[in-house]
Amino acid sequence: MKIKILKRFLSYSKGLGGYIFLAFIFGVIYSVAAMSIPDFAGRAIDCIGLAEGYSSLINNLLIILVLIVVSALAELLLMRINNRISYSVAMKLRNDCYNKIGRLKVSYLDRAPQGKVESMIISDTETIADGFLLFLNQFVAGVMSIIVTLFIMYHINWKIATMVLVLTPLSFLVSYLIAKGAFVSFRKQSEERADQTGFISEMAGTLRECRLYNVTDLKIEDFAGINESYRKTATKATFLSSISNPSTRFVNALIYAGVVLWGAFLGIGGTVTIGALSSLLAYASRFMKPFNDLSAVYTELSDSFACMSRIAEFLDEDEIRDESGAEEYGYTKTSKIDIEFKDVSFSYVPGRPVLKNVSFKIGAGESYAIVGPTGCGKTTLINLLMKYYEPDSGDILVGGRSIKDIPRSRLREYIGFVTQDAWLYNGSIMDNIKFADEEMPDELAIASAKKSGSDSFIRKLPGAYGEIVDNSRDDISEGQKQLLTITRAMAADPAIMVLDEATSSVDVVTEKKIQEAVSELLNGRTGIIIAHRLSTITGCDKIVVLIDGEVREIGDHKTLVKKGGFYSKLYASYIS
């Protein structure tokens, strides 16, 4: 599994081959220069007491100085390049995660907590970048340091070098056993960190409701529980990762003690010089440092692998199909397009149908209203029309063509959709109106605002159309936000207009203005209106009554009132 994840992660390094090559070169230069210093230091020590020792000592010291400068410059350049590689890879990974959201099926987004997705794209990719950067900084330089050190040690005394080489795998074994347990803990930590982010995001968005129902203290207790669980997991993961370095250092200290003991006997016997023994001791210490660093990297990578495994699962989620056929559809945004539902059945959960064999046709330029009790499937019909979901059976035709054969992007060009939940993104009011077309002339956007009735309150804002807004603005009412979303749909000038409880957040006066604007907008266009306020639908060409996912009545307002069925009773209760 780790190899599979590693291969997938390394695929993001494509296009960075030049930087990777430079990193390798500078890593080699740094390692050779830094690891050569103890050898020349030992030679300098052996110059003491020799007849020409002074000049040799100066030469060795000058060589050491050059090696120090070269290793420092190589290390600086290596870190700069590794930073570029690491965060370029993280940027690609983060872009892929963000782009994936646009390709995911709505069913996944419906069940996935928003905070977890945010945590994955922001926190997990950052953790991966940090782990990868540590790997780049340590791996090439570490491996080269081991090779160069071993070569020089064999050159000085092959017996001591062999002893060090044979005992070194003990460090790897200790590191592997610790990192194996750390991976499980780090993955659980990553998941609980996402839970934390999701909980905080949810509470930040529902603070008013928590205070309204006086559950703030209860939510604080809930968060404390999540936080405590995270503390335990993080403590365990951190403990396992932190004992890796001391454990390997303990093994390394034993190896170093062995070198000291054996080297002392060899020195007494005259087999090695004092300088050579000094170099061996320095190399024995330095030889183990790359192993310590690499063991720390391996442990840190456990956290990165845990995050990468979550991201890989996210990137492997089912996507919407990339459909073709847009060029052959033959309609424009201003065309008159009919809509037909043919025996449409659908269920979110298998065995629990929401829609059952729904059939009706909306003629080109006609406006249909859909009414019924809560949960009867009104909004689900719109979700199917917008291709957020696909019917279990039956078909939906738009302009005589099955929406299965119309690409989502092309289909949605024809549809203006105003939901009951007003949504504004962080930007100016003008930017929000132009959301569907950034090249739209300002005059057209302002004209749409006048039609919807939002122009009057927009001009009262300090910045007018340049005022920066978002959903958190308290000085803009829900009704005014809804007016802006209606303005946005009007400015898009769609062939089909869908209003899902679009007037639920506005007062009676504003509702009347919207009705007038919508009537003008629907003139000559195909429209679908879902509303509980029946005053907004009495002028529709036809009204479709849905009950328990089935079509029970279809007709105009007067016909259905005379019929004395569900709609007649609903309307009577509305006007009473």
pLDDT in tens, 251-310: 777 777 777 777 777 666 666 677 777 777 777 777 667 766 766 676 667 777 778 877
**Per-residue three-class SS string for 23-82:** HHHHHHHHHHHHHHHHHHHHHHHHCCCCCCHHHHHHHHHHHHHHHHHHHHHHHHHHHHHH
Q: Residue 143 and residue 31: Cα distance in Å, rounded?
A: 9
Q: Which residue from 194, 173, 229 is spatially nearest to 306, judged by alpha carbons?
A: 194
Burial string for 287-317 (b: 16+ CB within 10 Å, else e) reads bbebbbbbbbbbbbbbbbbbbbbbbeebeee
Burial string for 411-429 (b: 16+ CB within 10 Å, else e) reads bbbbbbbbbbebebeeeeb
Q: How many Cβ atoms from other residues are within 10 Å of residue 483's Cβ?
A: 29
Give 58's contacts (C-beta < 8 A, 6+ positions apart).
none
Residue 324 clears pLDDT 60, i.e. is over it: no
Residue 502 clears pLDDT 60, i.e. is over it: yes
Any idea which residue has 């050190």 for tokens?
Answer: 149
Any idea which residue has 């503390």 for tokens?
Answer: 231
Six-digit token string for 272: 């090695």
Q: Where are the beta strands (DSSP E) in 301-392?
A: 339-346, 355-362, 367-371
Q: Residue 306 and residue 232: Cα distance in Å, rounded?
A: 17
Q: Residue 68 and residue 37: Cα distance in Å, rounded?
A: 8
Under 8 Å between Cβ of 136 and 80: no
Q: What is the pTM of this model?
A: 0.61
Structure confidence by residue, pLDDT tens digits, 41-52? 888 887 776 656
**Mean pLDDT on 224-236:** 82
pLDDT-derived band at 322 (thresholds 50, 70, 90) equals low
Question: What CATH number does domain 2-190+236-315 carry, 1.10.8.50, 1.10.3720.10, 1.20.1560.10, 3.40.50.700?
Answer: 1.20.1560.10
**Mean pLDDT on 62-86:** 89
Under 8 Å between Cβ of 355 and 345: yes
The full set of domain ranges for the chain reads 2-190+236-315, 331-414+527-576
Under 8 Å between Cβ of 37 and 85: no
Q: Which residue from 121, 269, 257 is spatially nearest to 197, judged by alpha carbons?
A: 121
Q: How many residues does the chain have?
A: 576
Q: Residue 477 and residue 471: Cα distance in Å, rounded?
A: 10
Instruction: State phi, psi for 387 to the nearest 5 degrees.
Output: 65, 30
Structure confidence by residue, pLDDT tens digits, 426-483? 788 888 888 877 788 888 888 888 877 788 888 888 888 888 877 666 677 777 777 8
pLDDT of residue 298: 67
Q: Residue 37 and residue 71: Cα distance in Å, rounded?
A: 10
**Mean pLDDT on 176-190:** 70
Distance of CA 448 to the CA centre of its chain: 35
Six-digit token string for 409: 């992007």
Specify which of 2-6, 78-82, 482-486 reaches the highest per-range mean pLDDT: 78-82
Q: Which amino acid is at 486?
A: I
Q: What is the percent of the chain where pLDDT is above 70?
A: 81
Any idea which residue has 């007018």 for tokens?
Answer: 464
**Mean of per-residue pLDDT scores for the chain:** 78
pLDDT-derived band at 28 (thresholds 50, 70, 90) equals confident
Question: What CATH number does domain 331-414+527-576 carry, 3.30.200.20, 3.40.50.880, 3.40.50.300, 3.60.70.12?
Answer: 3.40.50.300
- The strands making up 550-555's β-sheet, listed across from edge to edge, are 415-418, 496-500, 526-530, 367-371, 542-547, 550-555
pLDDT of residue 40: 82
For residue 91, give Cα distances in angstroms to 24, 118, 198. Answer: 22, 15, 23
Residue 326 clears pLDDT 50, i.e. is over it: no
Instruction: State phi, psi for 555 to the nearest 5 degrees.
Output: 170, 175
Question: What stretches of 333-415 show up as alpha helix (H) in DSSP?
Answer: 378-385, 408-411
pLDDT-derived band at 489 (thresholds 50, 70, 90) equals confident
Q: Which residue from 324, 254, 327 is spatially nearest to 284, judged by alpha carbons?
A: 254
Specify which of 65-74, 375-384, 395-404, 476-485 reaches the highest per-range mean pLDDT: 65-74
pLDDT of residue 399: 83
Give 508's contacts (C-beta < 8 A, 6+ positions apart).
none
Q: Residue 141 and residue 220: Cα distance in Å, rounded?
A: 48
Q: Where are the beta strands (DSSP E) in 105-202?
A: none
Q: What is the percent of the chain where pLDDT is above 90?
A: 2
pLDDT of residue 2: 64
Residue 224 clears pLDDT 80, i.e. is over it: yes
Structure confidence by residue, pLDDT tens digits, 400-428? 888 888 877 777 778 888 777 777 777 88
Residue 73 clears pLDDT 90, i.e. is over it: yes
Q: Residue 149 and residue 274: Cα distance in Å, rounded?
A: 18
Q: Which amino acid is at 249?
A: R
Q: Which residue has the higher pLDDT, 549 or 170?
A: 549
Of 18-27, 135-144, 173-182, 447-456, the poorest mean pLDDT is in 173-182
Under 8 Å between Cβ of 309 and 65: no
CA angle, residues 199, 101, 355, in degrees to nearest 5: 90
Q: Which residue from 575, 479, 557, 406 is spatially nearest to 567, judged by alpha carbons?
A: 557
Under 8 Å between Cβ of 435 and 484: no
Residue 321 clears pLDDT 70, i.e. is over it: no
Q: Residue 11 and residue 15: Cα distance in Å, rounded?
A: 10
Under 8 Å between Cβ of 367 and 526: yes
pLDDT of residue 503: 64
The H or E element containing residue 110 is helix 106-111
Residue 176 clears pLDDT 70, i.e. is over it: no
Q: Residue 359 and residue 275: Cα distance in Å, rounded?
A: 95
Q: Residue 325 and residue 328: Cα distance in Å, rounded?
A: 6
Six-digit token string for 60: 């060795």
SS3 for 196?
A: helix
Q: Residue 307 and residue 288: Cα distance in Å, rounded?
A: 29
Q: Residue 385 and residue 398: Cα distance in Å, rounded?
A: 9
